[in-house]
Chain A
Amino acid sequence: EADIYQTPRYLVIGTGKKITLECSQTMGHDKMYWYQQDPGMELHLIHYSYGVNSTEKGDLSSESTVSRIRTEHFPLTLESARPSHTSQYLCASSELGQGSYEQYFGPGTRLTVT
């Protein structure tokens, strides 16, 4: 069982509100990721980080921002939520080293913007 947590699990919010989705992991992983996923569809990478004070944009254009002040914490912020942001947001983490490693996923936050 992966030790990666996301809160809230479900969120319904009105248009224009600012929201922050929380993600924390206790595995000491340097790499962390945020994906956006519509139900049953592919995962789209929106942000990732390879360590403290390191953040990169992913393939999917996003109006969100991230920060990485602590190794274990990688919050995602939407400054002004819109209905088009309605989706599931998945956080993941993995080891940093030579080569590739499994990504561990959190349970996701299902966001609905009304």
Chain B
Amino acid sequence: GENVGLHLPTLSVQEGDNSIINCAYSNSASDYFIWYKQESGKGPQFIIDIRSNMDKRQGQRVTVLLNKTVKHLSLQIAATQPGDSAVYFCAENSGNTPLVFGKGTRLSVIA
């Protein structure tokens, strides 16, 4: 079956530094990828998405990179702030199927 996972369960960064959160997936048919942020006690919140016909997409302080050759997805957060502390999930699907979520990375920002 599909396997969507993250390389590191926890990540600590200094405030102001850039953060990179990685994700590997195994379903080569996946054509849609999305990053969510989940703060304690809340539901996941959309950050950014990317379709398989792109390899990079930028938002406000965030960039998603997609490498289909090695089936790797990353989320870059520029100038990380304390409010970025949360658990980050990648998810993927193909066509009309439900999203498949990875295990999550807990980002801690050190002031």
Contacts and interface: CB of A to CB of B under 8 A. Distances in A.
Contacts of A110: 41
Given A33-B98, A40-B87, A42-B89, A105 B32 contact: no
B15 interface: no
A107 B45 CA distance: 10
A93 to B, nearest CB: 11
A100 B93 contact: yes
Given A100-B95, A100-B96, A102-B34, A42 B102 contact: yes
Q: Which size class do A's interface residues fall under?
A: 20 to 34
Q: Secondary structure at chain A's binding surface: helix, strand, loop or mixed?
A: loop
B97 to A, nearest CB: 8
B42 interface: yes
B104 A107 contact: no
Given A40-B87, A43-B89, A105 B104 contact: no
B106 A105 contact: no
A65 interface: no
A21 interface: no
Given A40-B104, A41-B104, A100-B93, A105 B43 contact: yes
A66 interface: no
B25 interface: no
Nearest to A9: B41
A81 interface: no
A62 to B, nearest CB: 14
Interface of B: 1, 31-32, 34, 36, 41-46, 49, 51, 87, 89, 93-96, 98-104, 106
7 contacts: A40-B87, A42-B89, A100-B99, A103-B34, A105-B36, A105-B43, A108-B42
